[in-house]
Amino acid sequence: MGSRCGVDPTTIRQALMHQKTLTELAIGLEKGEFSSVELTQHYLDRATAHASLNSFITVTPDLAISQATAADARRASGDAGPLTGLPLAHKDLFCTEGVRTSCGSKMLDNFISPFDATVVSKLGEAGMVTVGKANMDEFAMGSSNENSFYGAVQNPWATDRVPGGSSGGSAAMVAARLVPAATATDTGGSIRQPASFCGVTGIKPTYGRVSRYGMVAYASSLDQGGVIAATAEDCAMVLGAMSGHDAKDSTSIDRPVEDYRKVLGADIAGLRVGIPKEYFGEGLSNAVGERVLAAAKELEALGAVLVDVSLPNTELAISSYYVVAPAEASSNLSRFDGVRYGHRCEDPKDLEDLYKRSRGEGLGKEVQRRIMVGAYVLSAGYYDAYYLKAQKLRRLIAQDFTQAFEQCDLIVGPVAPTTAFKIGELSDDPVAMYLADVYTLSTNLAGLPGISMPVGLADGLPVGAQLLGPHFSEARLLNVAHQFQQQTDWHQKIPAAFA
């Protein structure tokens, strides 16, 4: 019909490029249906057209077109890989050479990174094109993406709702198809929760699987880089390229990286899927619980075996996390003092005034709150009572998972107790905000991998279920999510305003 109306079918195809998954775009590039420059410009135009979503902190058109041009040259010379020429955005705590890396904070608003994080360099070597840097909660501290110096990010499904945090910008731009994939980080659920709220797929790998070099630290023993995309297959493509040992990161694991895409399609008959009773009790929305259990039944229909398991120390995860994470944050963020780089107050009277005013002006309320908590629990007289006890609880939580995985191969459960809440709804109640992480924190404390996948809608808002597995079970989690997505279409849903 397009050709009869005088419209070039190629133009129509290119206008709908954003509706394709990363995998489909890779096929389109390989077939020559469009060039990387055309694809990149399409996404740059969408980033501009939907700037009100506030999902980007920085858009990098010159860098993107330069990288896309190089990608097309690689493809023409026969040197292209599966990711060559595909656009993505980086969460704005991955250092990117020559580009502002702000961590969503006034403190680093003027910081231009002199080097690339390992994740950025790995994906760059794979030929991916950087469209920009994604908005985020300041220094990754938050569950709603309302704590950014650059303002709250809007959820594409309902712009009066939060996208989740701290990787809310990454999740929102993927959901709105402003990019086909984005890097993200997960310290206590910050990949899985925004992926759930925005109806996309997000994977947090095992601690140490992805290098943290050049990833600005929040809580070093918990932070882990990952990826958000539309589908598990897309996540498998990107995660495979960004994973691997890095000598620059002392916590990086020296272990071969599986070909995650190669295992997609493996039969899951007989796979034991655990359902923890602690995840389906008081506090969980009925609508969310119903959709997660329906997803478990879908896995059962594919041949999986559902088994009941228990994670008895789940309720202690919040207490443990909000001692350990702030303690590490208070140490990591001490470097932002107005002396070496970042925000510096005007006309300091002396060194103490420089420290106080630079940090007071440059750091937001939530960051200051966590630094204060962290300094307190590490102080003399309180270390044993709080920090040491929290680390003991952390060990008990890890043991819960070890025992559960003796009975099952993976665990399925909700990502968050509710769907996305309204912007401002919990801003004045930090404790209520912290409770939104009840189902995700344990995974980080134990260093385990987890993936969130869309499993339905409740009152028009996305619901996600998370799959959790033993250490280095990313391939299995991706395959199970992929098998689920072959039977359902929730991952194909795009918010109407962005289709």
Return the residue matching tokens 């060194």: 351
Helix (H) or strand (E) holding 16: none
Instruction: List the structure tokens of 281.
Output: 């009790």
Catalytic residue among 91, 106, 122, 204: 91
Q: At what angle do helices 36-49 and 22-31 cross, to 10 degrees?
A: 140
Catalytic residue among 166, 170, 358, 452: 166
Q: How many Cβ atoms sit within 10 Å of the Cβ of residue 361?
A: 14
Q: Is residue 52 among the annotated active site residues?
A: no
The DSSP annotation for 158-182 comes to BTTB---SSSHHHHHHHHTTSSSEE
Alpha-carbon distance of 211 to 208, in angstroms, equals 7
Q: Is residue 277 among the annotated active site residues?
A: no
Q: Is residue 91 among the annotated active site residues?
A: yes
What three-state secondary structure class fits 246? coil
CA distances 233 to 60, 182, 334, 386, Å, are 26, 14, 39, 42
Alpha-carbon distance of 141 to 328, in angstroms, equals 12
Instruction: List the structure tokens of 64.
Output: 């993107």
Catalytic residue among 190, 211, 330, 473: 190
CA distances 69 to 65, 128, 259, 298, Å, are 6, 11, 28, 44
Q: Where are the alpha helices (DSSP H) in 129-257?
A: 168-175, 192-198, 232-242
Alpha-carbon distance of 314 to 291, in angstroms, equals 21
What amino acid positions are annotated as catalytic residues? 91, 166, 190
